[in-house]
Structure 1
Amino acid sequence: MSGRRQPVLGILGGGQLARMLALAAAPLGVKTLVVDSAADACAGQVAPLLVADWKDYVALERFAREVDVVTFDFENVPAETAHWLAERVAVSPVPRALAVAQDRLAEKTLFRECGLQTPAFVAVDTREDLDRALAEVGAPAILKTRRLGYDGKGQFRLRTSQDADAAWAALGEQGAAHGLILEAFVPFERELSVVAVRSREGDFRTWPLTRNWHTDGVLSLSLAPAPDIEELQRRVTGLARTLAERLEYVGVFALELFVEDGELLGNEMAPRVHNSGHWTIEGAHTSQFENHVRAVLGLPLGDTGARGLSCMFNWIGELPDPAPVLTTTDAHWHDYGKQARPGRKVGHATVCAPDARTLAERMATIAGALHREAQAGPALDLLRHL
């Protein structure tokens, strides 16, 4: 990009994803400008930050004039704001993709149209609807808000139909505003995700499938590439490509998947870079963040292959002692610069290795020193049997 004006990437949302996008953009000669309503948004520590509300169109007009492309840090930016910006500046991914991902009913419907099966689901708008949905879907089931739910928020698990009153008391008010969806509970064997990227020209690539473990609805640990997934990788890649082409998607997105009796079920789509893809920063030839910047700015995509095996520890609530990570070979520490708070994603660590045995040894050392044996245990059991 020598001799040319540096392009400017605008990012709506100023959390850790925007922070890592800005860090990936800089080596490409790309400037970033972040918009967030919070003056202490952590992306503001590494990039210029415009403090503004999503409906502050005076500030957004100035933002649109200063950037070449707009993208998203998280999917709950109002779709109307994205559409308003798209009339003034290029927006990637397209606002339609954002709108679909914001509504669980529209999202699940699209999955099925693209050939990706899902758990049984029924729209719920009233208390009477909930009874009818339970009769159709059965229990156990999960009642979810159609909008504004993530990381386990906006959900209520019904073990039997007798829990209907409690579920409605918990979510009915939100349902009146945005609608609810009842989904059948899935006794899944594995949780997987695929992170994919599509360029302006339609070049499509995926990173290796990732095996994920959650605690209280929040990602706790990711292992990549997931073991024994060659056939699943081929199927998931085809489904993700169909979805991307249907949405005319440009940029990185993630699909969260369940595996039940060997069958794939679509859970959610994230129209952005994703927590389960953080391992790509050190563990892949090109990270999800760099490829997202490349895609939305019309640059050639980079190789999405893994360098070896990687495991990511997600730090929730507060950061542990970094020393055990910093003193372990090929282990990498990421502090998001956030204040500690229960349930908040404040950082992660990625451990890389050329083989399963070495990765297990390095993970066990870190987990033991940080008293995170329970967090690392499922992945360690898996690695030790490879």
Structure 2
Amino acid sequence: MSGYFNKTLWVLGAGQLGNMLQHAGYPLGVDVKPIDIDAESAPVLDKDDVVTAEREEWPKTPVTNALSAHNNFANQDFFATIADRFLQKSLLDKLGLATAPWQLVKADDSEAQIHQNLGERVLLKRRKGGYDGRGQHWLKQAENSEIPADWHENAIAEQAINFDEEVSLIGVRDQQGQCYFYPLTLNLHQNGILTASISPLDRLKPLQATAEAMLTKLMDAVEYVGVMAMECFHVEGKLLINEIAPRVHNSGHWTQAGSNISQFESHVRCVTGLPMIQPSVRNTNFMINLIGCELDKDWLAVEGSELFWYQKSVRPGRKVGHINFSKTGEKNIQSALEQIEPLLPEQYQETIAWLKAELLSPSA
């Protein structure tokens, strides 16, 4: 195709992440093609095409069979490991990377045995599938909670962690094995769904080197190429890995406004073999996820707002877009938050209060 590099990048999945990868590839001259896994016919790939994915696992369809069998499917062998929480946790243990104490829910395990091993409050997670709080079940001794039917051998059990806060690190590794990182991101989850993110924050800087060393160890061990996200619990100055995502990640959406190279551009560059440089970050950045909200044109009138609408039908609990802000100075941050607050549904009052508490001094 005229005007493009001699590379086509197929994305397994045509959701918002695939679309944002396509958006990032266009100015690079890379032809990025997200494809619906349920499309009626499979595409024909050239031998020099590259394949990536916007999701950890997928069913067998003509499309997924064609893409996953391609020789240039970046990180192909790693997806099966990361999509199974038992295999993911086992790999992290093998590498000596700290996580919450955990175990497989074995066929003969009782609730009493799991509580004896992991404590009074235990979170069960299905080995495969589940996100945004789905596929999870609390086992609480005080409530006599029971292991759901058919979860034995199909779930892991994790000790409940009384964490101080949740942070994430977006890392990038190129085809030569060089690693690059964005600043740590502070995240707010409500009802199990990421609602807001902030980066950078001065108070998180002491954790940056430790987080980078942890993610470098993992990416190097599996010879990863592209963007990988590491979600962590911050507990009394230490980091415990909660989840790993082998792809661009919701907590890195702020990089679209706050960096010269977004996480999406970084991923496209690395998996297609284009040169990569250390991203430079500007200003204070925060992102608000739009969850179950109808589109509101007035969001565009808020100074400095950068809206990304996913063109999806709206339903409760569904991520339908996000708004990025990249701001300097507390007055500008405060103004943006005060302008956006009345334009969001009532449940966002807690979200805005959290952003104000983290971004503004008490006197602001």
Q: Does 1:233 align with 2:208?
A: yes
The equivalent position to 1:134 in structure 2, one of 109, 115, 118, is 115
> Are residues 1:110 and 2:91 paired?
yes
How many residues were matched structurally? 359
Deviation at 1:255, TM superposition (A): 0.4
Residue pair 1:282, 1:350 contacting (<8 A) in 2 also: yes
Please say if 1:373 is aligned against 2:349: yes
TM (norm. structure 2) is 0.91
Question: Counterpart of 2:229 in 1: which secondary structure?
Answer: strand
Q: Secondary structure at the match of 2:312?
A: coil
Matches within 5 A, 1:18-97: 18-38=18-38, 51-52=39-40, 59-60=41-42, 62-65=43-46, 68-77=49-58, 85=67, 87-92=69-74, 94-97=75-78
Of 192, 196, 210 in structure 1, the residue corresponding to residue 167 of structure 2 is: 192
Contact preservation (8 Å) 1:209, 1:233? yes
What amino acid sits opposite 1:367 in the alignment? E
When residues 271 and 185 of structure 1 are mapped into structure 2, their CA distance, relative to the original with a 3 A threshold, is: same
- 2:326 aligns with one of 333, 338, 352: 352
Q: Would you tell me which structure has more helix in proportion to its own residues?
A: 1
Verify the 8 A CA contact 2:269 2:276 in the aligned structure 1: yes
Q: 1: distance between equivalents of 2:108 and 2:342?
A: 48
Shift in Å at residue 6 of structure 1? 3.8
Superposed CA RMSD in Å reads 2.4
CA gap 1:377/1:227 in 2 versus in 1, 3 angstroms:
farther
SS in 2 for 1:228: helix
The within-5 A match list for 1:241-280 is 241-280=216-255
Does residue 194 of structure 2 align to residue 219 of structure 1? yes
Residue 261 of structure 1 and its aligned partner are, at CA, apart by 1.4
Work out the percentage of aligned pairs sharing the same amino acid: 33
Give the 3 Å change call, closer, same or farther, for CA 131–285 of structure 1 in structure 2.
same
What letter is aligned with 1:90?
A: N
Q: Choose the corresponding residue for 1:343, options 314, 317, 322.
A: 317
Distance 1:159 1:132 in 2: 13
Structure 1: 4+ residue segments shifted above 4 A: 1-5, 78-87
- Residue in 2 that maps onto 1:308: 283
**Structure 1 stretches lacking a partner, 5+ long:** 39-50, 53-58
Q: Could you tell me whether the CA contact under 8 Å between 1:224 and 1:311 is conserved in 2?
A: yes
- Which of 94, 108, 127 is the matching residue for 1:146? 127
- Structure 1 residue 161: deviation in Å? 6.0
2:364 paired with 1:364 = no
| Residue-by-residue CA offset, 1:139-188 (whole Å, 9 max, x unaligned) | 111011011121111101123265342xx23xx32x25x61111001111
What is the SS of the residue equivalent to 1:64? Answer: coil
How far, CA to CA, are the matches of 2:5 and 2:233 in structure 1? 45
Work out the CA distance in 1 between the residues paired with 2:59 and 2:317.
Answer: 24
Does the Cα contact within 8 Å between 1:104 and 1:181 map onto a contact in 2?
A: yes
Deviation at 1:284, TM superposition (A): 0.9
Aligned to 1:332: 306
Listed as ranges, the gaps of 5+ residues in structure 2 are none
Corresponding residue of 2:12: 12
Q: Is the 8 A contact 1:73 1:272 kept in 2?
A: yes
